[in-house]
Amino acid sequence: MPHNFGDFRATGTVYLVGAGPGDPELLTLKALRLVRAADAIVYDQLVSPQILAFARTGAQTIFVGKKPGAFCCPQRDIEGTLLRLAREGKTVVRLKGGDPFVFGRGGEEAEALAAAGIAFEIVPGVTSALGAASYTGIPLTHREHSSAVVFLTGHEDPKKTDSSFRWEDYGRLDATLCIYMGMKNLESITRRLQAGGLASDTPAAVIQSATTGAHRQFVGTVGDIALASERAGFGAPAIVIVGNVVRLASKLAWFEANRAHALPS
């Protein structure tokens, strides 16, 4: 049952739903049921059109995505839209790429709903790093290579006066690093990781548009990945994975291999 906080008795419910990394077949059964039943769907830039196609006839769809370098809906306006639709008595699906609680600002939206007394539920999704790693053949953990995984963002809140990250510290960890939204600052990030002690020949990968038909992957090292991937035309949306587990991509890249076999001769 959805939770309703506060004194305000809302007539609608908001579901913060993870749409997964792109491949519509990675949508959970619960997410699919909610998308099909929703009166209104408020969706992000990275939500697959195939997933939106599951919406019922007559459902209201509202785009609130953010494109790099382009102005779109401020976060406060998105939260206001969710409150308005719920107060109109609608069943609302807030559809987010990946998982709503992993760099998806789902926590902020849940706080706004709770403060307004709006009933809501959180529906997890396959977060982008998991989808990108799986489709690239990179096991994020492996008994011989890595026993820890760290999720990081390369794009913090621009209103912060000081970064909460000391990338040098992460360069000292014996862990797999998954960097979201890091393409713009990748040169600086990799340089600082090396300054912290991470060897320049540590394997690294950039996976763009993971799990979709536009999926591309580039494998290099921490020392060259920023410049080499830029020269190869890689950009957002992309996940960067750093660590010894990346070595296994050459053997386990099943998605690229399957696509190559499917191409006409």
Options 7, 23, 39, 66, the catalytic residue: 66
Q: Which of 7, 30, 39, 44 is catalytic?
A: 44
140 near 245, Cβ under 8 Å? yes
Strand bridging mode 203-208 / 216-221? antiparallel
Per DSSP, which regions of the chain are E strands? 13-18, 40-43, 60-63, 91-96, 119-123, 149-153, 176-180, 203-208, 216-221, 238-242
Active site residue 66: yes
> Known catalytic residue: 44?
yes
- Rama region for 165: left / alpha / beta (φ>0; ψ in -120 to 50; rest): beta
In 3D space, the residue among 191, 237, 183, 245 whose CA is nearest the CA of residue 210 turns out to be 237
Contact (Cβ atoms closer than 8 angstroms) between residue 136 and residue 218:
no
Spatial separation of the C-alpha atoms in residues 247 and 243, rounded to whole Å:
8
Residues annotated as catalytic (active site), given as ranges: 44, 66
